[in-house]
């Protein structure tokens, strides 16, 4: 039996939305779920206790960043990532592929892997399927992601086909290199760009390997929302119903709803904490830019319908003041609210699926939120 298992609890009658549960060595994750991102072994501006208190059941961390700093050997010596960062709930690590492919001129792709120069000091490195698994094994994450290539958008068919076939070969190497199967599970990643037949091909190739979960990569990379939804709708049909499905890099409320509606169980995105550091909040009434002059004397909470720590204790006027003065507490309080907002949104989505009112709840949130 694999370290990570999935139980399908209920499927929505009118959509592909589903309520499920992922069990890992560090605890249970109720799905659909949003996973906060802790790039460098920290969810920026948040103590782990706060991340737990706001209800997050799993976080994501980045192999590329931890490989460069502090180095996976140091994390291993510390007793693994859970211990190193004082987080005892599940952790998912990405493979580092997305980051090295994003380096542009600093990287070179071969069948062996990707040669790249560190964005920090220009030093030369090689990330391959075997190396990625070695690093993720040292980190000790519950869920490890396969080393893949995320094709850009737009990309021509030939390129996408070659890239997805190499991704499958790399996945097989990842699977062979993964030996710590009792404590960690490996998820495969479907690619294929916006080409439906290539998506099908990718799905068939990776599903054959019978992994405990599958991700959909290469979406939400700059394509129009309608196209993303159309391709995603098709992608999910090629994945087995008894395994969790993870849509990578998605974290605005509308994309979360569209993903859930099409049968996705797991999501991650840096967005909520990143926009928080720029003074932006997601609220039940839509986006709030705390910098705006209209909040100077607004002593009401950030979100009237939110009961997060920030909304229970502070006013918009105070949050605006902190931001204007470059105070650290600004990022801390806004990050807390934004993460709570998405974690709570997913909790409400799960409840709505259980009570057969997913589409009604979606409409309610869309009506109140305005432009996404
Ligand atoms: Zn709040």
∠ CA 50-52-57, nearest 5°, is 150
Choose among 262, 166, 188, 163: nearest CA to 220: 262
**Phi, psi (rounded to 5 degrees) for 169:** -60, -40
315 within 8 A of 322, measured Cβ to Cβ: no
131 within 8 A of 182, measured Cβ to Cβ: no
User: Catalytic residues, which ones?
Assistant: 94, 268
In sequence order, the 6+-apart residues with CB closer than 8 A to the CB of 295 are: 288, 316, 317, 319, 320
Residues contributing to the annotated binding site for Zn(2+): 306, 308, 311, 337
**pLDDT of 260:** 98
DSSP strand pairing (114-117 vs 124-127): antiparallel
pLDDT, tens digit (0-9, with 9 covering 90-100), for 275-316 = 999 999 999 999 999 999 999 999 999 999 999 999 999 999
Average pLDDT along the chain: 97
pLDDT, tens digit (0-9, with 9 covering 90-100), for 222-244 = 999 999 999 999 999 999 999 99
Residue 372 clears pLDDT 90, i.e. is over it: no
User: Alpha-carbon distance 342 to 308, whole Å?
Assistant: 11
User: Rounded to the nearest whole angstrom, what is the distance from the C-alpha of residue 294 to the centroid of ligand 1?
Assistant: 19
Kindly report the number of other CB atoms within 10 A of residue 80's CB atom. Answer: 17
Residues contributing to the annotated binding site: 94-98, 148, 191, 218, 306, 308, 311, 337
Q: Is the pTM of this model over 0.85?
A: yes
User: Rounded to the nearest whole angstrom, what is the distance from the C-alpha of residue 356 to the centroid of ligand 1?
Assistant: 27
Residue 331 clears pLDDT 90, i.e. is over it: yes
Rg of the chain over Cα atoms, rounded to whole angstroms, equals: 20
Residue 204 clears pLDDT 90, i.e. is over it: yes
pLDDT > 90 fraction of the chain, expressed in percent and rounded:
97
189 within 8 A of 207, measured Cβ to Cβ: no
Kindly report the number of other CB atoms within 10 A of residue 196's CB atom. Answer: 15
User: Rounded to the nearest whole angstrom, what is the distance from the C-alpha of residue 280 to the centroid of ligand 1?
Assistant: 12
DSSP letters for 336-349: HHHHHHHHHHHHHH
User: Rounded to the nearest whole angstrom, what is the distance from the C-alpha of residue 333 to the centroid of ligand 1?
Assistant: 9
């Amino acid at each position: 039996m694999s370290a990570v298992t999935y139980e399908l609890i209920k499927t929505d009658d009118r959509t592909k939305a589903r309520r499920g549960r992922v069990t890992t060595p560090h605890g249970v994750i109720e799905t659909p779920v949003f996973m906060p991102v802790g790039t460098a072994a920290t969810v920026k501006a948040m103590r782990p206790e706060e991340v737990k208190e706001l209800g997050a059941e799993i976080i994501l961390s980045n192999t590329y960043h931890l490989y460069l700093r502090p180095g996976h050997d140091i994390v291993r010596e510390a007793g693994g990532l859970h211990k190193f960062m004082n987080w005892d709930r599940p952790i998912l690590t990405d493979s580092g592929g997305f980051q090295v492919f994003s380096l542009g001129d600093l990287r070179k792709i071969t069948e062996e892997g990707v040669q790249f120069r560190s964005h920090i000091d220009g030093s030369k490195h090689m990330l391959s399927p075997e190396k990625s698994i070695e690093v993720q094994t040292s980190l000790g994450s519950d869920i490890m992601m396969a080393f893949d290539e995320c094709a850009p958008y737009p990309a021509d068919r030939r390129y996408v086909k070659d890239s997805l076939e190499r991704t499958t070969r790399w996945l097989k190497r990842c699977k062979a290199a993964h030996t710590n199967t009792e404590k960690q599970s490996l998820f495969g990643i479907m690619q294929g760009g916006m080409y439906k037949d290539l998506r099908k091909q990718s799905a068939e190739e990776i599903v054959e390997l019978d992994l405990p979960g599958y991700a959909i990569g290469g979406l939400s990379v700059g394509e129009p929302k309608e196209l993303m939804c159309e391709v995603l709708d098709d992608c999910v049909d090629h994945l087995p119903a008894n395994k969790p499905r993870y849509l990578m890099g998605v974290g605005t409320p509308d994309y979360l709803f569209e993903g859930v509606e099409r049968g996705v169980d797991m999501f991650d995105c840096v967005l909520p904490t990143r926009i928080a550091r720029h003074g932006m909040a997601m609220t039940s009434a839509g986006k709030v830019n705390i910098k705006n002059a209209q909040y100077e004397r607004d002593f009401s909470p950030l979100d009237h319908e939110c009961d997060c720590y920030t909304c229970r204790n502070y006013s918009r006027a105070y949050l605006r003041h902190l931001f204007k003065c470059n105070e650290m507490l600004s990022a801390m309080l806004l990050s807390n609210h934004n993460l709570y907002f998405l974690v709570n949104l997913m909790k409400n989505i799960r409840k709505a699926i259980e009570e057969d009112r997913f589409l009604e709840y979606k409409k309610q949130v869309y009506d109140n939120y305005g432009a996404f």
